[in-house]
Structure 1
Amino acid sequence: MWVVALRSLFTWAKRNGLIFRNPTSRIKVGQYEYAVLQPLVPDQVDRSVAAATTPATRLILAFAAVHAARVAQIASLMLDDIDLGNGRLTIAGRVRPLDDLTRKLLLDWLEHRRRRWPNTANLHLLINNQTATKTSRASNHWISAAMRGQDATLERLRVDRQLEEALTHGPDPLHLAEVFGLDEKTAMRYADSARQLLMTSPGEPPGGTVREAE
């Protein structure tokens, strides 16, 4: 990692005319070895579920934990992305089947939304007091607020959902790419982590700790 830092520093210095040549340009940087992604434990998830006390936060949690949606993707969802009649929802351009839990939480939120802001012109699915009088989406800060400080943040829940898919259906990167729209490198990382976790003996903790994944 020190080579990467030095390379960035010398690149900046050369760009600003402080040096004439970058002495790190010929140094090879080895491939970064990612730690094995670790699943959340039930207590961590339970605490986040308990923290979701409103129709909006319960739906937000489901989008992350069930559909592996990013915070910005959740904030950007439009009413037209929800197709209750055909049991589908569209997240970041990808059509996904609508499970029973998410459907129930959607209906609860839509009823709350209708009663709370009956005359809003905002077509985003998730709105609040600030955005109900506008047409802009809610902020990432508002979307993630309820899970802030929890071990199972929205990002950790999203990662856990994708890892769970790899553990349940087998470490197949092609399957993961198809289900979640992951790029090849990210799908391989989830598949590799799942493979190592599945090979770990019961009671023996796999190496590494969870890190942010795509």
Structure 2
Amino acid sequence: MTDSGESIPLPVDTDTILAVLNHEDPAIALATSIVVFHGLTSGQVRSIQLTDIVDGKLALPDGRIIPLADPVRARLTVWLDHRAATWPNTLNPHLFVSLLTAGRLSPPGHQFPWHKAGISAQALRNDRIIQEIQATGGDARRIADLFGIGVESATRYTRTLDPDLL
């Protein structure tokens, strides 16, 4: 925390990230990869529909088009194969479905798949934003545009560049 009581986002241990990226559950591996590589929020991940992904690009409701990283695309293929084999007759339009939502048209619950993964999407997103802050030398405007956050929020992440604050 800063002197003003504001919290400073912290990075996640690399081994923890690798464990969830390579999780045996393909939903966890895919959801994690989307957040780790592209910094989406849990809500954005849950709301992705099958039709939002075309030719390896993800269209977000805010108009941004994200070319999916190769590791995300690989996990997407595994998940889609698993989804088709597990729920061959589902009409659910969402990318992620579960036992509870396969027979419905709704996205999975807020805890899916993070509870089983043992890590929050927010922690992974914070880590991704911190990486980008370090790569850009603290360019808050670029971070705001890239992750769809306000400049004030992006500025909070720039404080991670000060080693005395960690």
Same fold (TM over 0.5): yes
Q: Residue 27 of structure 1 corresponds to which residue in structure 2?
A: none
> Normalising by structure 2, what TM-score?
0.87
Give the TM-score taking structure 1 as reference length. 0.69
Does structure 1 retain, via aligned residues, the 8 Å contact 2:21–2:30? no
Larger radius of gyration: 1
1:124 Cα offset (Å): 0.5
Does structure 2 retain, via aligned residues, the 8 Å contact 1:59–1:109?
yes
**CA 1:33–1:92: 2 relative to 1, 3 Å:** farther
Q: Which residue of 2 aligns with 1:185?
A: 152
The gaps in structure 1 that reach 5 residues or longer are: 1-30, 201-205, 209-214
| Structure 1 residue 92 displacement after superposition | 4.4
Matches of 1:102 and 1:68, distance apart in 2:
12
Shift of the 32–80 alpha-carbon distance from structure 1 to 2, 3 Å rule, reads farther
**% identity of equivalent residues:** 28
- Residue 65 of structure 1 is matched in structure 2 by 36
Q: What root-mean-square deviation, in Å, do the aligned CA atoms of Structure 1 and Structure 2 show?
A: 1.9
How has the CA–CA distance of structure 1 residues 207 and 100 changed in structure 2, closer, same or farther, with 3 Å as cutoff?
A: same
Whole-Å separation in 2 of the counterparts to 1:183 and 1:174: 8
How much does 1:43 deviate?
3.0
Identify the residue that residue 74 of structure 1 maps to in structure 2.
45
Q: After TM superposition, which residue ranges in structure 1, 4 or more long, deviate above 6 angstroms? A: none
State the partner residue of 1:107: 77
Q: What CA distance in whole angstroms lies between the structure 1 residues aligned with 2:105 and 2:58?
A: 21
Alpha-carbon offset, residue 96 of structure 1: 1.1
Q: Deviations over 1:186-205 (max 9, x none)?
A: 011112323x1xxx3xxxxx
Match of 2:94 in 1: 124
Displacement of 1:154 in angstroms is 2.1
Select between 66-75 and 162-171 the one with higher mean Cα deviation.
Answer: 66-75
- Given that 1:60 and 1:74 are in contact with CA atoms closer than 8 Å, whether structure 2 keeps it comes out as yes
One-letter code aligned to 2:80:
L
Count of aligned pairs between the two proteins: 163
- Note if contact 2:48-2:95 (Cα within 8 Å) is conserved in structure 1: yes
Aligned in 2, Cα 1:171/1:57: closer, same or farther, shift over 3 Å? same
Distance 2:81 2:20 in 1: 23
Q: Deviations over 1:107-162 (max 9, x none)?
A: 111111112112111100100111111111110122212223x5xx3221110001
Cα distance in 2 between the residues matched to 1:136 and 1:146: 20
